[in-house]
A and B are shown apart, each in its own frame.
Chain A
Amino acid sequence: MTTSLNPSQTGPKKKISFIIRDVEEPRHRAAVSALQYDAKSGRLFTGGSDTIIRTWSVPQHKDAFSARGGVRSPGKSSGNYLSSLEQHTDWVNDLVLCGNGKILISASNDTTVKIWNVERDNKHRFVDCLRTHKDYVSCLAYAPNVEKAISASFDSNIFVYDINSNFKTVNNFTGKDSIYSLTTTPNMSLVLAGGTDKCIRIFDPRTNEKPIKMRGHTENVRALLINDEGTRVVSAGSDGTIRLWDVGQQLALDTCIAHEEGVWTLQVDASFSNIYSAGKDKMVVRTPCRNFSQSQLLFVEDAPVKKLLLSERENPTSIWVGTWRSDINRWSIRSSNLQLSINGDDDGPSTSAAYYAKPIHDRTRDQIPQQTKAELTIEGAPAIKQHKTLNDKRRVLTKDTAGNVALYDVLTAKKVENYGIREFDEVVTESMQVVFIPSWFTVDCKSGMLQITLDELDAFSAWLSTRDAGFDVDDKETKVGIVNYGGMMLRSLFEKWPPCKVTGMEAVDGDETQRATSHYFPIPEHTPLIVCEGNGRPLLRLLVGDAYKEKEAHELSQVIPPWVTDAIERNSLPKFNKMPFYLLPHPLTNTKQPKKDRLSATEMLQVKKVMEHVYEKVLNNSDGVIPINQIHTRIEMYCNDQKLEPEMDLRTVKHFYWKQSGELLLQYRPIRGA
């Protein structure tokens, strides 16, 4: 069941985006914030900031370890990449595995909830998209006994979906302010939500009465867990505390202050006896429910922790950790009651002696961690953190989390150069040219990859001469062509879309504006293309190479905005800007009564054309026509007392030589005795 959208429903000013990336992206590029594990099939599902959900095959903990608890081959244990689920266009915040391990639900900042079929031996595929929310969808919850899934968002709404009825929305609660945490009992007797208003709200789906509020946290509530009976709740917040609540009495029983900064994720074992917590301070801590002052430092991660996931809830032996880094670690957990043999192939400095001798009043940070090395690591890849668009408005310089500097070409949607580890600013300075081309796209690296966006207002502002664009131009040619980068880009993106392809062929012989887009470059077929609303909400995502297929082509025609079709179907581009300017004789020419002309011309006009105008029309030279490429032997043009090159266009002159407000002033000076 596809939720189709009427073109009339969607907002104005739609945008077009695409992502420059490799065909396969088998490794996470940025933070990992969502984890789900299917013990039966040994598969791990992960999601994060790079928008892609990945599936991995991972060894069981017992296979990775000797009977005595030591790691079999430390450092070599890893997960095998199985597949990617790619449809989201922004961070994936949460995942839920349901329907007996066959269905995966994902929640994202792109405001959608997506349903995927992840049956073991079938090709994983996208099933449906739920557009119930209007803002970032921050969390999901699952009630297995009644097969219901729940989503909550910054729009303060909570929606309940019936998994067995095609995810029909069966209930809706409204909280106050943005929701950052959600939990439910297995039979959905209670649904709890927490967020920026610092209260925990308890909703009863059977009565739908006003929710009960539990106050205590002094900052945002970032994580919530309720026990199976629905009697105890554990919460964690930006105030750095973990709190235990009694649901019946609606009051806080205990507060744990083991953490130093915001706590963002919680896990609890099946018997609700131990709480696992982590967050900004990178420490993963275990705290017994019965004694909040006995927190134990399990291990310290390399970066702030976004998500914890116990491999199993009954007597957990290992825990998965998603952090700001793209590596995903699994750490072993030793049960507090386990007596360790002294000579065992232990993998860390911590021994049972050290554990039991732990002083009670230490700062958590001062404790000896139970582990120092993860038992298993799924490696990630670097993410782009910095970007700078060069003056040629075609290439973008980037730097990633590993320190590598690279160069991308927007028009070909490819990486073109790798500079290795270098000072970003140095490379920027080296690469800058003296040319002024208006901006026609915006760059975004929230997914760790380069995303380029075109919008109606600016997309067509980059007009330039074929010479400036670097296309081979015969020097003898008197008529220099112009190209439009935005128009070219659209042709590249929609090349395979049937309506575009047909008219594109005629463009080569068409008029000037048509030819302005004919120099477009082919781009990789795997490039994802996104049509979204003005505020960023995605309407459609497809691969550039799939645009010819019937289903994709039809969906595209439903959402494609008119400003794009005008350019690629009707070859109609907005006219280029006209620029007014003044023409005066140079003071040195000693003209008695200088005539100040106010003219208007396209900003792309070259200086030599102005020279020609001055020579023939202003100075009234009737001694035959001088060829344009020799006009500079008769006339000199100045701006702010700097002599201008005949090839330069007015726009560049204004930007680099005039540099002030008010209209451009050019001064001419005839050359005597040429």
Chain B
Amino acid sequence: MGSGGSTMLEKEISDGSAEHYYGLVNVDIQFRLHPQYNQNFQFGNTCYCNSVIQALFFCRPFREKILNYKQNLRKSSTKETLVTCLADLFQNITTQKRKVGTIAPKRFITKLKKENELFDNYMQQDAHEFFNYLLNTISETLLVEKNAERDRTARSGTIKRGNVSVNLASATASLPGENGVGDRNGAAGEANDTRNQANNTWIHDIFQGVLTNETRCLSCETVSSKDEKFLDLSIDVEQNTSISHCLRVFSETETLCGDQKYFCETCSSKQEAQKRMRIKTPPPVLALHLKRFKYVDSLNRHTKLSYRVVFPLELRLFNVSDDAVYGDRMYDLVATVVHCGATPNRGHYITLVKSNSFWLVFDDDIVEKLDVSSMEEFSGMSSDTNIPMPPGNQSTQQKNSESAYILFYQARDYAANDPNHNHKERTRNCTNSS
């Protein structure tokens, strides 16, 4: 621990904050023969995991929940889950004496491979796929524990003082302002919400948003909308554009006509229609996934679109539909997972994070300060030259093909200490009748 580089960083960051900056060692480093160049290569393989963990660590709401989780674990449950491993890792970092250093997340990686055979190999994986898997796993674990707690409480009949109590299904009536989703629904909607909220965890509180798919019949002009929940938003990318442009395209109107006419219930027949996807409820933390990996039929594999897509530090979400709860919402970029390399399988992931007022680059175990002005270098390449270059030039090529892949935007009005967002884990003070 504590290479020369990190001592320098320590000196640079004398901000007096209690923040820790720990690089994550790539636990799977292999030296293998490069199939094309006949030379030995260092293949970094768990960076898909490291990069996402770093990004999430610097998503303050997420970090706090994980640390909270660790603290509130029942003493009796000694079962090791992916969540407990992650919590241990986070806690490890935050309790280090030194500000800067490196940690090898061996326990977490081992658990990950055991839990999901998809990751049980030495190959590079898709960071977005891992992100999805991680969120879903945490959510499922929390749900299982929440239901178990509810059963325990139901059996025992009392709520113990000081414990984290779980809202029983009947008690989770939709209170105003609690959750953007479904506040405006009628009675039937409320019953639905009760069920939905019974299945919600703080993962949903932080990352979940609602999309609405609107279809308008051009004959009777009736609009029918269907809501869809999401934990992250995957959008297509185009060359030499911006995130705002890509979000606009995402919400563009599609016309259903010709052979693709829409069956309208009001007209009882096929009519032309216009369809579009809009964000109805933006999430507190918006995880934006850029669809850079496309399957090409003719090549029979995935290729990477290194398109240059400029991303802003501040994002105002414009495409919020008319009846949305929040209207326009202002977001700040807090972390970015960047993919380096020309192909999906032989690339490398690094993370850019914002901490307090400055930016850092986490490249596995290496942590460096980043000048905000050089953020643009991670937008991608303006011309599509995916020529595999000989080994000596690989670092240059990699540098050129660094493209932002997953962007984490946090809503400016989302206060981490907001008591409302802790509503799912209200501590109840109950007196025991004895």
Contacts and interface: CB of A to CB of B under 8 A. Distances in A.
Decide whether A and B are members of one complex.
yes
B221 A91 contact: no
B268 A220 contact: no
B263 to A, nearest CB: 10
A535 B259 contact: yes
A154 B259 contact: no
Contact of A445 (B257, B258, B268): B268
A651 interface: no
B268 A196 contact: no
Contacts of B257: 135, 154, 178, 196
Contacts of B255: 177, 196
Interface string B244-283: 0000000000010111000000011100100000000000
B221 A178 contact: no
Contacts of A461: none
B229 to A, nearest CB: 28
Contacts of B272: 154, 178, 196
Interface string B264-305: 000111001000000000000000000000000000000000
Contacts of B123: none
B392 to A, nearest CB: 54
A369 interface: no
Interface in A324-344: 324
A463 to B, nearest CB: 29
A154 B259 CA distance: 11
16 contacts: A91-B269, A109-B269, A154-B257, A154-B258, A154-B272, A177-B255, A178-B257, A196-B255, A238-B218, A238-B221, A261-B221, A262-B221, A280-B220, A280-B221, A446-B267, A446-B269
B222 to A, nearest CB: 9
A304 interface: yes
Interface residues of A, number: 21
Contacts of B258: 135, 154
A90 B261 CA distance: 15
A304 B218 contact: no
Nearest to B259: A535
B252 to A, nearest CB: 14
A444 B264 CA distance: 12
Interface in B188-231: 218, 220-221
A220 B269 contact: no
A124 interface: no
Interface in A540-580: none
Interface string B79-113: 00000000000000000000000000000000000
Interface string A87-131: 000110000000000000000010000000000000000000000
Contacts of B259: 535
B268 A385 contact: yes
Interface of B: 218, 220-221, 255, 257-259, 267-269, 272
Nearest to A262: B221
Interface in A189-245: 196, 220, 238
Interface string A531-544: 00001000000000
* A contacts with B: majority SS: loop
A534 to B, nearest CB: 10
Nearest to B264: A446
Given A154-B257, A444-B269, A446-B267, 11 more contacts: A91-B269, A154-B272, A178-B272, A196-B218, A196-B255, A261-B221, A280-B220, A280-B221, A324-B220, A444-B268, A446-B269
A497 to B, nearest CB: 29
Contacts of A90: 269
Contacts of B268: 385, 444-446
Contacts of A91: 269
A150 B255 CA distance: 26
B268 to A, nearest CB: 5
Q: Which 6 A-B pairs have the closest CB atoms?
A: A446-B269, A446-B268, A262-B221, A445-B268, A280-B221, A178-B272
A90 B267 CA distance: 12
Contacts of B221: 238, 261-262, 280
B216 to A, nearest CB: 9
A196 B259 CA distance: 17
A214 B218 CA distance: 21
A109 B267 CA distance: 13
Nearest to B222: A280
A196 B257 CA distance: 11
A262 B258 CA distance: 23
A480 to B, nearest CB: 40
A178 B257 CA distance: 8
A31 to B, nearest CB: 9
Contacts of A178: 218, 257, 272
Interface string A72-98: 000000000000000000110000000
A280 B272 CA distance: 17
A304 B267 contact: no
A107 B386 CA distance: 55
Contacts of B269: 90-91, 109, 444, 446
Contacts of A304: 220
A306 to B, nearest CB: 9
Contacts of B218: 178, 180, 196, 220, 238
A273 B258 CA distance: 39
Interface string A439-480: 000001110000000000000000000000000000000000
A583 to B, nearest CB: 37
A177 B272 CA distance: 11
B400 to A, nearest CB: 41
Contacts of A261: 221
A180 B218 CA distance: 10
A535 B258 CA distance: 10
Nearest to B267: A446
A154 to B, nearest CB: 6
A369 to B, nearest CB: 23
Contacts of A324: 220
Contacts of B220: 280, 304, 324
Interface in A254-276: 261-262
B321 to A, nearest CB: 17
A648 to B, nearest CB: 36
Contacts of A238: 218, 221
B172 to A, nearest CB: 30
B66 to A, nearest CB: 40
Nearest to A30: B268
Nearest to A304: B220
B224 to A, nearest CB: 15
Interface centre among B220, B257, B268 (most CB of A within 10 A): B268
A258 B124 CA distance: 62
Interface string A408-445: 00000000000000000000000000000000000011
A135 B258 CA distance: 7
B254 to A, nearest CB: 12
A520 to B, nearest CB: 29
Nearest to B274: A196
A304 B267 CA distance: 13
Nearest to B272: A178
Contacts of A444: 268-269
Contacts of B267: 446
Nearest to A536: B270
Contacts of A446: 267-269
A352 to B, nearest CB: 36
A45 to B, nearest CB: 22
Contacts of A262: 221
Contacts of A535: 259
Nearest to B221: A262
A172 to B, nearest CB: 19
Contacts of A154: 257-258, 272
A450 to B, nearest CB: 11
B274 to A, nearest CB: 8
A426 to B, nearest CB: 20
